[in-house]
C-alpha cells in the first residue's frame, strides 16, 4: 500500500509498504481523509518538538473500518470513524486521574510513531469514534477542533466571560468556536487581516484586533478598561506567548494552547500583581471529541468554509510546499484518498 514519508525536513517521498495485520483489540481502518495541521507543517520544516525522522505524518484522520474483532464499543466493519491519535499508557498518575491527554508516556500518532498518511492503519478500538452521521470531511476535523474545545473546557470558561484568542489559525478557530458556543464574548487577535476577517465571520466573533495596532489600547477600549477574563494563545510563537501576559484582567487566566520549541520568560512582578493563572492545554479527550461531534451535528460548525484547500494523496508532495506560504491562504488543507 502507498504511504507518504517525511524522510527529513522538507523532503516528502511516496513509498510502498506492507499492510498492517489485525491484532487483538484493534481495527484496520481504510483512511479516506487526512487533515493537515500545524504539527505537520512544523515537522516538515524541522521545527516540531519531540520529533524524529523519518516519519509518516498525519493524525487528523477519517476512514472506514475494514476489519475488526469483537469489541465493547459497538464498532463493526463498514463503520465510518474518526481517530483519537493520542496513545496513552493507562497506568501513569495522569491516566489514573482520567487525564489521558497528558499521559506521562504519551505517544502521538504522526509525531512519536508513524501516522495516517497511508492507505490503511491499525488503531486500538478504544481510540475510534463512530461517525456514521457525519461526512468524511466532518469526521476528519473532529481532532483539530477538539484541541480548542479541550482548552476551553480546561479553563472553566463561563457564560458571558470576555475572552481573547490569539492566533486565527485552525486551532485558534477551534477555541473561538467552543468559546462562542459556551456563551462567551470572544475577541480574536492576529497580524493577518484576512485571517481576522475569516475568523470573525466563521466563528461569529464579537471583535477582532490586529496585534500590530496597539493591542493593549484596543482591548482596554473593548472591555471598558477591565481586559479579558481568559486569554488563549494558539500561535506557537514565543514572542506572542510572552506578550500575552499583558492581556488578561487582574485575577484572569492565560492558557497556552500552542506549543513552541523554546523557553518562555515573563515579568514576575506583572504576573504576581495580576495574580494570574497560567495554564497549558495539551491534546484532547474523548469528551472533547464528542462535544465537537455534537456541535457539528447541530449545525453549529461550518466545515465547508473551514476546509480551504484540497489535494489527492499522490499530489500532496508537490502541493505541500505551496501550503506553507502565507499568501496561499490555507486555513485547513485536506487530503483525499
Summarised one tens digit per residue, pLDDT across range 215-261 is 999 999 999 999 999 999 999 999 999 999 999 999 999 999 998 88
Q: Give the pLDDT mean for 71-75.
A: 96
What is the spatial distance between Cα 28 and Cα 333, in angstroms, rounded to a whole number? Answer: 25
Are the folds of 2-141+307-336 and 149-280 the same?
no
Q: Which three cell numbers stand for residue 275?
A: 495574580
- 3-state secondary structure (DSSP) of residue 120: strand
**How do residues 273-302 score in pLDDT, each as one tens digit?**
999 999 999 999 999 999 999 999 999 999
What pLDDT, on the 0 to 100 scale, is given for residue 110?
95
CATH class of 2-141+307-336: alpha beta
The predicted structure's pLDDT at residue 8: 92
- C-alpha span between 198 and 305 (Å, rounded): 9
List the grid coordinates of 305. 468554509
Please state the domain extents for the chain: 2-141+307-336, 149-280
* CA pair distance 118, 33, nearest whole angstrom: 10
Whole-prediction pTM? 0.95
Residue 207 and residue 242: Cα distance in Å, rounded?
22
Q: Identify the pLDDT of residue 325.
A: 86
Q: Within 15-123, where are the H helices?
A: 38-45, 93-96
| pLDDT score of 175 | 98
pLDDT tier, 148 (very low <50, low <70, confident <90, very high otherwise): very high
Dump pLDDT digits (tens) for 98-135: 999 999 999 999 999 999 999 999 999 999 999 999 99
Q: List 11's β-bridge partners, or say none.
A: 8
The predicted model gives 311-328 an average pLDDT of 90
Share of the chain above pLDDT 70, in %: 100
- For residue 113, the tally of other CB atoms under 10 A from its CB is 13
CATH architecture classification, 149-280 = 3-Layer(aba) Sandwich (3.40)
Q: Is the pLDDT of residue 48 over 80?
A: no
Phi–psi pair at 142, nearest 5 degrees: -55, -45
Amino acid at each position: 500500500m502507498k504511504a507518504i514519508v517525511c524522510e527529513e525536513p522538507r523532503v516528502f517521498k511516496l513509498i510502498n509498504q506492507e499492510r498492517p495485520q489485525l491484532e487483538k483489540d484493534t481495527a484496520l481502518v481504510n483512511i479516506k481523509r487526512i487533515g493537515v495541521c500545524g504539527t505537520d507543517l512544523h515537522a516538515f520544516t524541522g521545527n516540531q518538538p519531540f520529533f524524529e525522522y523519518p516519519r509518516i505524518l498525519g493524525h487528523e484522520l477519517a476512514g472506514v473500518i475494514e476489519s475488526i474483532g469483537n469489541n465493547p464499543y459497538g464498532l463493526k466493519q463498514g463503520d465510518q470513524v474518526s481517530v483519537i491519535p493520542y496513545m496513552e499508557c493507562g497506568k501513569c498518575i495522569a491516566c489514573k486521574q482520567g487525564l489521558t491527554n497528558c499521559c506521562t508516556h504519551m505517544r502521538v500518532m504522526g509525531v512519536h510513531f508513524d501516522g495516517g498518511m497511508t492507505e490503511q492503519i491499525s488503531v486500538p478500538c478504544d481510540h475510534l469514534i463512530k461517525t456514521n452521521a457525519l461526512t468524511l470531511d466532518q469526521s476528519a476535523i473532529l481532532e483539530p477542533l477538539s484541541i480548542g474545545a479541550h482548552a476551553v473546557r480546561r479553563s472553566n470558561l463561563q457564560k458571558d466571560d470576555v475572552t481573547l484568542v490569539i492566533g486565527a489559525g485552525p486551532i485558534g478557530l477551534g477555541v473561538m468556536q467552543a468559546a462562542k458556543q459556551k456563551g462567551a464574548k470572544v475577541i480574536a487577535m492576529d497580524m493577518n487581516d484576512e485571517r481576522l476577517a475569516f475568523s470573525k465571520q466563521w466563528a461569529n466573533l464579537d471583535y477582532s484586533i490586529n496585534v500590530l495596532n496597539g493591542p493593549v489600547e484596543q482591548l482596554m477600549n473593548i472591555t471598558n478598561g477591565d481586559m479579558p477574563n481568559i486569554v488563549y494563545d494558539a500561535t506557537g510563537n514565543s514572542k506572542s506567548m510572552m506578550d500575552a501576559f499583558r492581556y488578561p484582567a487582574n485575577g484572569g487566566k492565560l492558557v497556552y494552547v500552542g506549543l513552541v520549541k523554546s523557553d518562555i520568560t515573563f515579568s514576575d512582578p506583572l504576573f504576581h500583581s495580576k495574580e494570574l493563572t497560567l495554564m497549558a492545554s495539551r491534546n484532547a479527550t474523548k469528551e472533547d471529541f464528542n462535544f465537537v461531534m455534537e456541535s457539528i451535528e447541530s449545525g453549529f460548525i461550518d466545515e465547508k468554509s473551514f476546509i480551504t484547500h484540497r489535494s489527492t494523496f499522490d499530489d500532496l508532495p508537490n502541493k505541500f510546499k505551496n501550503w506553507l506560504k502565507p499568501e496561499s491562504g490555507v486555513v485547513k488543507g485536506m487530503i483525499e484518498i
